[in-house]
Chains A and B, each alone.
Chain A
């Protein structure tokens, strides 16, 4: 028996990679999601140029007269009219513009602040981590919608008291509020990922070469956070859009143009008579949320992130 034979016996055979039994899942969901969001975003951005979208204030007349819910869904108005004879479809599109803008901007705010908090907690640990986790726990201890109601309402008040807050309009109030709500989840995932990364070899290597903390964070940690943060951001967008809807439904939304939540609230009492005034905004909200979830789910699979897969 030669030495090579012994070695061969001693080394276990490399595990044969398990054949992929599962077919690759079709990406229909992903493309449906992207398609819906692209279509809505396109209509919302070019609402004033597209001829099939009526102007926001156009009232639709039947035999020369306006009336409550005077037309149901059909050729003339695709989604019927609302209580003041406005085109529901057009209003949904104008609402989409506000909702999507608020969603994206507040995600950016949450991503920035939450990411900062999470990376600091995860990288420095110790008392920084303690304080960070108390901030995150406090943000999570109040039910998000309650926190949002408080923030929006008080910002409204403060605007009247301090003149330097005059630039705050409803859009900005809601954007800031939802941005604050988004801090906690981003901070959590950033912290968890940073803790996992900071003991990896390449980070140790950078540190032992004498790189300062700032450089290690910027050059080694942050680039590796992008997949997880992106996934959470997309899934979070769905949640924020739903939250904006809930705020609007509770009466603290943007007043003009109306958003979906407010339209649902307005149609609430006439549900039996004019289902279209409620159902179509509902569908817009549902399709938008599920689109973000579909894309987020795909990203989570792609980057193999479990926390975001809820």
Chain B
């Protein structure tokens, strides 16, 4: 429990530190009065406009005060104002978030669904033909950046086979599940395959170790069926590295998503973020970074918590303390 609180505290510190860092970093060098406002307004803005924006967003205050105002807004879901799009950041971001969230969740789940059976099979039939082929494939896919996989998949599935639509249109699953699937399949695949390859390599290495442990021999000796030994005993004890990595990969997944979304021209967070950075849309950048940091932090926290679910030793240790 103490360990858990320590982690929580560290994550909270990291969240504040990083979001404050982003705020300061977006404003460094803009120290003349009215400078941040001028950057936000862009081009030719009248002095009155600059004054109004400066006042409205407290841009004359010091960084800590500005951070405080922004943080206060965050808790009431008021993320600030996008000067470039003349919209509330909340209104502006809302439609862009969902596609990215879908993409990330689909990619992670699909990667796990592919990786776990493959890795278990490979570890079970170690050094067999299947293992060799699997290792080769996973090594190759680990080395394909999303930037390379996207064009390849697009050529094969979209241009050549023509199974999926050329232009991405945003369809929610509750509106039309089939169209939704068609639109998301290829981008998801581009994110999933490298991710699955990483998972396979990690889980296989762990499973091979676990399968040599005494308790596995004991379980087989007392007559537990191989299937149960493999999926019940061995897999459960091999999941830790994999789970930790699911947390670690969230950041990388977001990076991959930026590229994939841009390649398939999806109107989602990736495109929004790049545009916001390029046009100095300070509040959009801050909000998106805060959301992403929060996601990374929360996923890692969930991963820590899931250890207790898998491992009774951790669960009981917690009950005792």
List residues of A whose CB falls within 8 A of some B CB: 22, 133-134, 137-138, 140-146, 149-150, 153-154, 157-158, 161-162, 238, 242-243, 245-246, 249-251, 261, 264, 268, 271-272, 275, 278-279, 282-283, 285-286, 289-290, 293, 297, 306, 309-310
Chain B residue with Cβ nearest A286: B148
Check A286–B252 contact: CB distance below 8 A. Answer: no
B234 / chain A contacts, CB cutoff of 8 Å = none
Q: In B137-174, which residues have CB < 8 Å from any A CB?
A: 139-140, 142-148, 151-152, 154-155, 159
In the complex, which of the residues A137, A161, A251, A309 has the most CB atoms of chain B within 10 Å of its own CB atom?
Answer: A137
Question: Which residues on the A side are within 8 Å of B143 (C-beta)?
Answer: 238, 286, 289-290, 293
Chain A residues with CB under 8 A of B258: 143, 145-146, 246, 250
CA gap between A256 and B232 in the complex, in Å: 56
Query: A272 touching B159 by the CB < 8 A rule?
Result: yes
Q: Are the C-beta atoms of A310 and B202 separated by less than 8 Å?
A: yes
Given A282-B151, A286-B143: A141 touches B25 (CB 8 Å cut-off): no
A150: contacting residue among B25, B152, B248, B259, CB under 8 A: B25
B residues in contact with A310, CB < 8 Å: 142, 198, 201-202, 245
Contact B252 A158 (CB under 8 A): no
B-side interface mostly? helix
What are 21 residue pairs bridging A and B, where the CB atoms are less than 8 Å apart in the complex? A137-B14, A141-B251, A143-B252, A144-B251, A149-B274, A149-B277, A150-B22, A153-B277, A158-B28, A161-B30, A246-B146, A246-B255, A246-B259, A268-B263, A271-B154, A279-B151, A282-B151, A289-B145, A293-B142, A306-B205, A309-B201
B280: nearest chain-A partner, CB-CB = A157
Nearest-CB residue, chain A, relative to B258:
A145
**B278 touches which of A161, A162, A251 (Cβ 8 Å):** A251
Q: Are A286 and B278 neighbours in the complex by a CB distance under 8 Å? A: no
Separation in Å of the A156 CB from the closest CB of chain B? 10
- CB of B289 within 8 Å of the partner chain: yes
Asked if B145 contacts A246 (CB within 8 A), the reply is yes
- Which residues of A sit under 8 angstroms from B252, Cβ to Cβ? 143-144
Could you mark each residue 266-306 of chain B with 1 if its beta carbon is under 8 Å from any beta carbon of chain A, else 0? Answer: 00000001100110100001001100110011000000000
**Distance (Å) between the CB of B82 and the closest chain A CB?**
17
User: In the complex, A142→B18 CA distance in Å?
Assistant: 8
**Chain B residues whose C-beta falls within 8 Å of the C-beta of A272 in the assembled complex:** 159
Taking Cβ atoms with an 8 Å cutoff, the residues of B that contact A are 10-11, 13-15, 17-18, 21-22, 25-26, 28-30, 127, 139-140, 142-148, 151-152, 154-155, 159, 198, 201-202, 205, 245, 248, 250-252, 254-255, 258-259, 262-263, 273-274, 277-278, 280, 285, 288-289, 292-293, 296-297
Residue from A141, A149, A154, A246 within 8 A of B18 (CB atoms): A141
Evaluate whether A134 and B13 lie within 8 angstroms (CB atoms) in the complex, with A141-B18, A141-B293, A154-B25 already known. Answer: yes
CB distance from B259 to the nearest CB of A (A): 5
Expressed in whole angstroms, the minimum distance between the Cβ of A177 and any Cβ of chain B is 12
Q: Decide if A285 touches B198 in the complex (CB within 8 Å).
A: no
Interface residue from B11, B30, B146, B205 paired with A309 (Cβ < 8 Å): B205
Residues of B within 8 A of A158 (CB): 28-29
In the bound complex, CA of A142 to CA of B13 (Å): 14
Q: Which residues of B contact A290 (CB under 8 A)?
A: 139-140, 143-144
**Is A261 within 8 A of B147, CB to CB?**
yes
Given contacts A154-B28, A310-B198, whether A286 and B254 have CB atoms under 8 Å apart is no
Residue in B14, B140, B147, B159 whose CB lies within 8 Å of A138: B14
Least CB distance, A242 to chain B, in whole angstroms: 4
Contacts of A271 in B (CB 8 A): 151, 154-155, 159
Partner of A264, one of B151, B277, B296: B151
Q: Are A245's CB and B147's CB within 8 A? A: yes
Please indicate the chain B residues that have their CB under 8 angstroms from the CB of A137 in the complex: 10-11, 14
Asked if B14 and A134 make an inter-chain contact with CB atoms under 8 angstroms apart, the answer reads: yes
Instruction: Give 10 closest A-B pairs by Cβ, nearest first.
Output: A145-B255, A290-B143, A143-B254, A242-B145, A161-B29, A143-B251, A282-B148, A293-B143, A137-B14, A286-B148
Smallest CB–CB gap between A223 and chain B, Å?
28
B127 (CB) vs chain A CBs: closest residue: A22
Q: What is the bound-complex CA distance between A162 and B262, given in angstroms?
A: 33
Name the A residues within 8 Å of B147 (CB-CB): 242, 245-246, 249, 261, 264, 282, 285
Set of chain A residues within 8 Å of B293, measured between Cβ atoms: 141-142
Q: Given the complex, which residues of A lie within 8 Å of B198, measured CB to CB?
A: 310
